[in-house]
Structure 1
């Protein structure tokens, strides 16, 4: 596959609680579980000690990979600028916000006021930020 705009993207992050993360991203945002693997003993092969949860929309060119290594955990350390932005090209529905909050999300003020003007910011259970942007996507950076 050529390296261009159609190349698939995986966003990999540590998670402290894969079950809580799954609720937020699936029941809250509506992503699907694309793959799941429970942690096993390290001697079972490379990466076996990691629990993995891959989430996304099947027709998207990207997905989230959330990982947890119970025997040697890496705790998430997101900043206020670690954002995953979804462009809605319209208003954020109250039902979507309610679903995110009921499934472990917390609405927060954005560090950059741009995102408060053009959307809503919600922290996931690991502290990473999801921005639901009311604007239409523009690759010109507007």
Structure 2
């Protein structure tokens, strides 16, 4: 049975793992949990980022031999509930690390936070509310 203690991995293709790393590690300050260190023919290059000891992480993949083009929509969101107002310095750091501040498709997110597109176009929402609020 699925429960709240189980680990979650979210996997996404990326055009450029170095750009994704800058955004999520330098910008959002997640840790590198694992990455491939050498190119192996027939295998994907991988970068896993997340909070240390967390129950979730992103696996960003790139296959140089058969690359996939990321196809994010305006509703492909990764929402972080901060529980405090969004720090302008965090948004500036994300933009400096390759992100782009964008208007949310759903006005709720603009009312309660800031949306930043990552280098592949997927949207990170920094929400000032707490979960369930």
Coarse TM-score class (shorter-chain normalised): over 0.9
For structure 1, list consecutive stretches of 5 or more residues without a partner in the other structure. Answer: 43-48
* Equivalent pairs, count: 132
Deviation at 1:58, TM superposition (A): 1.1
Q: For 1:120-139, what aligned pairs fall within 5 Å after superposition? A: 120-138=114-132
Structure 1 runs (4+) deviating above 6 angstroms are none
1:118 maps onto 2:117 in alignment: no
- Secondary structure at the residue paired with 1:78? coil
Superposition map of 1:79-118 within 5 A: 79-118=73-112
Larger radius of gyration: 1
- Structure-2 residue corresponding to 1:52: 46
How far has the Cα of 1:51 moved from its partner? 0.2
How far apart are 1:88 and its partner, in Å?
0.3
Which residue of structure 2 aligns with residue 39 of structure 1? 39
Which structure 2 segments of 5+ residues have no match? none
